[in-house]
Amino acid sequence: MADLRPIPERQIPSRVQVGEAQRRLANLVRRTPILEVDDNAIVRGRHGAGSSRFVLKLEQLQHSGTFKARGASNFIASMPISEAGVVAASGGNHGVAVAWAARRAGHSATVFVPTISSPTKVALLRSYGADVHQVGDVYAESLAASEEFVAESGATPIHAYDHSAVLAGAGTTGLEFVDQVRGLDTILVACGGGGLAGGIACALGDDVDVIVCETETTNAYEAAVAAGRPVDVEVSGIAADALGATKIGELAWQSLSSVSARNVVVSDDHVTEAQDHLWSEFRIVVEPSAATTVAALRSGRYVPASGERVGILLCGANTSR
């Protein structure tokens, strides 16, 4: 039987350790479905997509509405939790996932979110029984407030992306995807603090190309690539409540750098058009952050090679749009 002891907090998870997280989560999260689509259903002949093949992974159907349920559940299932409960800082989705996972495990949850968090996500937090505090204009300010609360209360903090257990949980999305679709060449994945993209890089290594998708005003990974290290960026725009980390997580940066993950940046208009297309073509509703992957293709910012088998990860649907 596999050793399911928790990974040290500051260690990049190995593929084996992501596999252990997957076994730990077997009865806690959903195995979300895939949808194979014709290339014309995504790009309709744009940008020379040719005979590329596309597969959508519908992770927006996950518990709590996003992939974040994986990381939150893995943390709570594997780490010691204080009697004072758990604490999270979040743009919205991580907090929702922590509140959902904590309630399921019988723990209280306190969640700090910035004022830019969508009313939909704040309502979800409260529906899962979280004690919600809206503090600051951006995620970094909410994180600072949550750290003060941890110092005062002794509650257990669950970082949104820069913790090994969270990264390993997110990485199970990638293991699941390649198990469902043999021969994937590429996975397009949205990136804020990098938990999902970094986790997938940990899980898959060089076997599949990871394409990091961001918006022009939530571009922490692009800035880190340019500087050669994580640096602060200003965040704003349509996807800021989910992709609004002001700096890529250190673990995610190390993981993505190790596989030389490429990045693609799209505009807010590209994201809105991609959301509209997903609805009109497939009747799929996703939040702006999730639509960045489709926007990368429809805008021509990422052009697959002929015959390339492209996985498109739709990571969340916590939106009223």
> pLDDT digits over 14-63, tens only?
999 999 999 999 999 999 999 999 888 998 655 544 567 999 999 999 99
For residue 6, is pLDDT > 80?
no
pLDDT of residue 45: 55
Q: One fold for both 15-65+164-314 and 68-157?
A: yes
Domain ranges of the chain: 15-65+164-314, 68-157
In percent, the amount of the chain with pLDDT more than 90 equals 81
Q: What is the mean pLDDT of the chain?
A: 92
For 15, residues 6+ apart whose C-beta sits below 8 A from its C-beta are 202, 203, 204, 205
CATH topology classification for 15-65+164-314: Rossmann fold (3.40.50)
- Least confident range from 7-21, 75-89, 218-232: namely 7-21
Q: What is the pLDDT of residues 280-314, one digit of tens each?
A: 999 999 999 999 999 999 999 999 998 999 999 99
Q: What is the pLDDT of residues 143-194, one digit of tens each?
A: 999 999 999 999 999 999 999 999 999 999 999 999 999 999 999 999 999 9
pTM over 0.75: yes
pLDDT of residue 189: 98
Give long-range contacts, CB 8 A cutoff, 24+ apart: 22-29: 22/172, 22/175, 22/176, 24/74, 24/77, 24/78, 25/70, 25/73, 25/74, 25/77, 25/169, 25/172, 28/73, 28/77, 28/101, 28/104, 29/62, 29/63, 29/69, 29/70, 29/73, 29/172
H-assigned helices in the chain: 15-24, 39-42, 68-78, 93-105, 119-127, 139-153, 164-180, 195-204, 220-227, 240-243, 250-258, 268-282, 288-298
For residue 5, is pLDDT > 90?
no
CATH topology classification for 68-157: Rossmann fold (3.40.50)
**The tokens of 290 are what?**
């999730």
